Structure 1
Amino acid sequence: MQTCTATNVQGNPYQGQLCGGAFIDNCTPGLIYTCTGGPRGTTGNCTLAQSCSVGCLTGPGDTPVTANIGTATPVANDACFTGPAPLTFSTNATTGGSYVTMTATLNNPHSPYAVVNFQGTTADVPPLCDVPLLLQPNATSVSWIEPTNVVASTKNVPLWTLISFNDSSGALRNLVSVTNPLTLNPGGTLPKPPLQSFSVTDANGSPISTIPGGSNVFTHGTLAASTPAPVGGTRGTVTSNPANAFVSDGSFTIDAGCTSNFTAGTLTASSAFTSNVSATVSATSGGGATLSQNVVVTPPPLAVQSVTLTPSTVTGGASLTGTVGLNRVVLASDANSTVSVRIAEGNISGAQLATFPGCTGTPACTGPLTVAQGSKSASFTISTKPVASQDFVTVAASAPWSNSSASANITINPGGSTGPALSSLVMTPSSGTCGFSTVGTVTLTDAAPAGGAVVALSSSSTSNAQVPASVTVAAGQTQASFNGTTGPTCNMSSVLITATYAGVSKQNALFFNASGGSGGGAATLTLTASGRSGESVFSTPAGLSVHVGTTGSASFAVGTRISLQATNGRSAVWSGACSSGGSTTKTCTFTLGANASVTANVR
């Protein structure tokens, strides 16, 4: 005697005639069972009552599996289905590696549509790519092309479908097919379908042909509907000519059964060019023709990159050289290359302790510094004033045309000052995607004394970046290194690392990139669902499902094309990183380029 267990989401066992596979159950799909109910925790409450030829259909008065009924007993009154088979194949036996056309059929009225769930999938017959699969109200069947895996010996894969719909009275019904075995025979090979299209886009999915150096663009490919990606997926290999036009691999993968890639490949344009470079970006799947897009990589926008002080520690009254470095040489086409240099007041005294020609204001002063065409840096002489005790001054460089700034600190000692001081803190690398590791190096102005010099370390955000509490410069040495890590949270654009010794502090910032040079990294999507109670909002690809009235988040690869939609075909007003402009739509689709938030008001 065949028994099984069937419950609702609260764990309450069902009572009545029940259609296997339509509830939370381990019953054989498509058959009718007699269930006896019972308290929560009851198992084996259902016994096989009737075999069905094509499947079973739930009754209009069944207790929905998601209904909140407390400890009450859910009921079912289901029967065998007498219509056409809900799931059929173009062939029931094929050579592994071949495509098979699957068809789901429902003649019953269904509005606004029916949802087809393809069940029993394995590594040899993968799940549907585009979910949910909808059967429109004016259609009685929907078909899709299913890839199969190469097998070493004959395999039978039992497949079935669950079709959920509202009938003409509005009642929720579930049609479950009996299992339909697909036989896979050995001797086949996996196909290599050719790319049908290839595009290079910005983060919003719009085609782009001009790419500033140092910026990211995204690659997308499609396959014909008749030849989706095989088991294991289709790799779109991306190359560029010239090869040095980009510094990352923009290749992408189209998942099994899919005809386009959900996660875009990421191409980072080289920032080394000082003139426009025409490049051809090409993609191939290994089968069929190579597809290409022509683009132009332009020099990166001019930006302030560094401030260097030589020496960085002086005796009050002495002079030193300051140098502002840019990310590239100044070109004739650059509208402006004048940097604003600010020398702050003494960190301890609050007095003006340093200045340079053309620097105006007190106690802090600001002055212009122009980097000449053809150069990527300019230097200036800083004069300091005598001090009675050690003090520190910050020299900063910025410009309205630059998306970055830089700074460095001068240590000013009184005359006759002895003993080493902290000269610098350098973090290498100082930028990367969340989770990157870095090595910090502290340098003293002179050799550490006997017993060593203990340099205190700190991070402005320990949830974003971590360093040890201190590092010791060994006696007789001038440098010591330490390891730093980033993550698990990277919700800031940068974190400041501070080293302190003998009253002198040095700082260096760690910057988080939205996408990495070799694959895009990860970004967090935060989703807030409001509006109609009882509904949820979920993502494709899977990873995020949020009930109305709650907020959730999940991590996806940067460049992922994400589609959001509400359950039961509900429309929603979307806002945030994915916006419907105040209108109600069933889905909202966008490419995740960085941490983002979306709000869905379900109607």
Structure 2
Amino acid sequence: MAIHIALSAAFAFTAAAQTPPAAPTLVEPAAGAALVQPIMLRWNPVVDPDGPIGSYTWQVGTTSTFDVIIAAGFTNQSGDGIPAATRDTVSGLPNGTYFWRVKATQLVGGVVFALDSPWSTVQSFTLVGLGPAPGTPAFTSPANGAQFHVREFFLINWTAVPGAHHYLLEADDEPSFSSPFTLTTDPMQFGTTFRAGWGNAIPNIYYRITAVSADNVRGLPSPILNVSITNAAPVPPPPTPLSPVGGATVSLPFTLKWSETLNPQIAGYDVDIDNEPNFLGTVGVLLVQGVSRSDYMVVPDPQVEGINHFPPGTYFWRVRAVHGDVLGPWSAGASFTVVASPPTPPGLELFSIITEPGSVSGGNSTQARVTLNMPAPAGGALVNLATDFPHAQTPFSVVIPEGKTDATVAPITTIPVPGATVGTVRAAYGMGWQQNSLGLWPILWGIGLSNESVVGGAPVLGTATLLNPAPPGGVQVALVNGDSTVITLPPSVFIPAGGTGATFDVATAPVSIPTRVTIDAGTGFEGYRSPGAGLTLLPPGSPPAAPSLAALTLASATVLGGGGTTGTVTLTAPAPAGGAAVWVCGSMEGQVVTPPCFPPGVIVPAGSISADFPITAPQVNAPHYVLIQATYGTTGGMQAKLLEIDPTPGAPVLFAMGVKPSGLIGGASARGTVELVMPAPAGGGVVTLSSDNPSVVQVPPSIAIAAGNSTNSFTITTSPVSVATGVSINASAGGVTKSAFINLGPDPNAALALTSVTLSVAGVTGGNSVNGTVFLNANAPAGGASVTLATSNLSAARVPPIVLVPAGLGFASFTVTTSPVSANTPVTITGFFGSSTQSANLTVMPSAAPPPTPGTPSLITPAIDATLAQPILFDWTDTANAATYLIQISSSSSFTPLTSSQTVTASQATISGLPAQRLFWRVRATNSAGVAGPFSAARRFTAQAAPPPPPAASLSAVSVAPTSVVGGNSSQGTVTLTSAAPTGGAVVSLSSANP
């Protein structure tokens, strides 16, 4: 290998790894001991100079040969200075005699990375009782032996048992559950339901469920549940159409309803609608795939094509269920008759549906706002509503009152979910429909701890935080203690209805070595497990822990939209030198309400323990909840608080703008619609409008929105265009600007016309030529099209009298010939074709005067007859109008021959490599046009011989420290040269006698 060095350089030697570490020795239980569960397994730590022990793995077998491993686990090194634990707890085993062993895994780095020790000696113990274990649950569904299709999800349910704090759900492909398991699930479960599914065929899957107490003591596992995943599984009968059936009369929009299939899926139905009863062809009138509910709202223009796909007449529909990778049979067809819908006023359309808020947690309700593009007519406007997923329900319809543009849809009810679930809420009116997303989330954000590290024995405060206020009945947050021998905490914390969080105490015990403990949390009513929190316990005398985030507080937990409040972050200790950059972030549906999230923008000054930051609340039309998060620390230090933003009357703020149609022929008109964040206050609101090309697209200067409404429409007029043209229309209110793009095209039926005359430049020096082009609005016909050209000033610019646009082309080029002029001369070049005339402007400019001849430089240094060592600095006076200087050096005053000749831009030059003798030098300047001025007077000087170059650097020494190492460790090497390395460094090749 080779390395680049300066005077000296360092490199690392890596010695080959040595032997594996020694096996651990078992400490407890004693060999042959009779025990009541839970039991503690303990072994001695392994110490090896080749590297730290990264983990220990233990196994409990039913025989000394460990043919069936009934329990297994591992402990990990959880950080620098936090060794892997040498103990673990076992429970949940039937009474009987068992055998156990442990091995260590050493981290050695390099390609090998880790080495396992041999297994320890094997010892036995006998379990004679369960101790304080909870009871044994039983599966209630599915039935044992049930079959499901690939990618078909199914619910696993079990009984709740007294004393159960949470449950462990395990899966494997063989019934002995010998570790390690081939199949995996998320084992820790809160609640008594789990949604399972597999992406490939599996002949047999075995499940078992175990109840776990608050003290982490396991009961006996349940009887085994066996299911199989195969696409040969039976398919249930098809759903039954419920309505409309039997030729029932409907008007658009309307809803199809059918019976649920067994084990319905999300995206679990296909709906087929046709205008003939045999459903011939691949697709009839409409095929909707991936429907997640047992109903579907049919709209006249489902693809937004401007086409009513359901004119009055008789139609037929059918439905089938989708079972993962397998399609079920179609139902029998049912008929219905579409009659004309009540007419809607011209131009009146549904503009939007906005979920407010667009995300909700814990089964809480939300609401939506539907808007028209202009006020509703007499009698109001009936808007039909639906959702596309079964987790949320809306009213069937809502009426927007006469003269109004808005109506509130409430309540939109939801159910608790164990994970993120996103669907849409749909609204339909007349020919149009709109939709908006609705996200459902588990309500528990997680837990935070006031310290990430404490000396064992010190108290710690924990906080559980929600994403929404707790629903009626409150939220019970289960807390799972990762190691009850060193920390104590309550089994759960209760957050009452309307609450957003609760605190709990964590008591810690003294430790002799650094010990890492994890606390998990979850909610049973959702079946959700949140991210956990870690706590490091330190022994007495440990160095002070680095600062971490202790608390996040809000000056006010509730603010009004458009207002603000202040947040504060507090550290466990003073910030270090340079301060502490705390990551703080909070956003409401994409609108950041805190300082920017990246890079971390809240700085706790050095020596301080806290810092404030501003929170700015956007305007809202309904209460919104924003999670403010902060983190600072080495392994933890995360906190969160929930901020409520409530609506309040305020100045109008623009929410959205739309243009319809967005593409049209120039000269036609379009309609624009603006919408506010919330209905306009008393006195109404005004939105400012503008076009970035008013010569082509014209809009009124503003549009008024009546009090209590949030939308209104305006007319967009356009001018004819000869080529495709895009124009941006802008709307502004309340400091928010929205833009919409409108594309105009030329009229394809317009008569052939000249659309423009263009020139390659707008100005030219007289005597030069300019390229020009004429453009037509369409390609020229057979024989071409002759465009007549004219110039407004024949003495300055001339053009050919006619330019021919060839057949099949829409343009042609020509040349403008100009003459010299004494002053700037404007010229108009005009083209004529039929009744159309177009022009382009050109300025003919006089030629620029040549720059003056530069003057004569005066020499400064070297002085006359000076004797100088090389390199020599030559200096002279600046000369007016000089762009460059030519310096000449010669042994003769006639400067023949030349010893050196250089061109420089500055009025000095440093020169070396001259012969050691008497020499002459002179300088002259050259202007930007290349015209040279006179030479300066010549001056004598004597150059001394140049000094000899320094000797080349060579290798002086190679050393290593230390000179001996244990295999797997490194040694530092140093190479030293005899002198400084040259420019670019020096390359020293290295080799090893035993690579």
What TM-score comes out, normalization by structure 2 length? 0.21
Rg: which structure is higher? 2
What TM-score comes out, normalization by structure 1 length? 0.31
